[in-house]
Structure 1
Amino acid sequence: MADKLGKMIDQLWFRVQLFIETSGGRQGAGELSERDFILLDYLDRKGEAGFSELSDFFKKVSPSTMSGTLKKLNQKKLVARREDPRDLRANIFSLTPKGRQSLEPVRQSQAELSQIIADSLQLTPEESNLVAEAVVRANKTFDKWMGLSDLLEPDKPDEHT
């Protein structure tokens, strides 16, 4: 059963990636890279974060690359930077209104696609609840693997019904 499910998830993953690529990807994000978009999305979800927290979130990104990315986003006025009052050597980063606005076209596309998929599955309310529970469990697994359990707000299956 697990082997079959793994194959099904792999096939779904391929189709999602293919759809994103062939439908223009994150076109609405303008000149933002995938990393830029995820960083802005993270700041929007968190409110604000210090450099070390962002570096911890992007484990495979070197501190110098993270610094350059934040500097670029700050220059584009997508991210605000201020001194950390607890440590004047450190900075706190937050999303600007312009940064939040840059996320909207992509989020709208994602919401539309999610709704199309949900509608096309024609699930009963019971089936929908089962899928929502499975998605919540998958998200918790990813959070645990990535060390995000305490960083992102937990999903609630009742929000998906």
Structure 2
Amino acid sequence: MSSARTVPHALYLQSVPGKAHKNPTLWFQKSLKHAAEFLHLTQPAISKTLKELEEIAGVTLLERGRGGVLITPEGEVFLRHAATSLNALDQALNSVSALQKGEQGSLAVGALPSVAARLMPLATQIFKQDFPHITLLLEGGQHSFLVDRLRRND
């Protein structure tokens, strides 16, 4: 008896929301043909990719039969980790996008003690209102200390 189980009617693993044309959804509907149609690929391309993944993993991920595609226990483990990887990729792409838009990141500011005491509290307050997701790193110190930090890119 096979250790594979039938893949649920529709199993979706979204990689990057809104960017399905670049990072398509992995989708099985008990048929590589249906998966290929959904992904706008050919069935041989899906089969080749699956074969390559199975060769890399050294196990059978999906079994093909008259009833359609069956996922093996190893395939379930692989799919679970693939979902985690795709979620991490999604987070990374969102973070890069936020950084490019100025919605995320950090800004280091060095100030002389006289400036730090008088101007920085108000400047910090205004900055945090305008850029709430940017981390502001404040460093106070003498001119030579601040210039040295700047040169070292600290």
Q: TM-score if structure 2 supplies the norm length?
A: 0.34
Instruction: Name whichever structure is richer in helix by fraction.
Output: 1
Higher RCO (C-alpha 8 Å, min separation 6): 1
Larger radius of gyration: 2
| Superposition TM-score, scaled by structure 1 size | 0.32
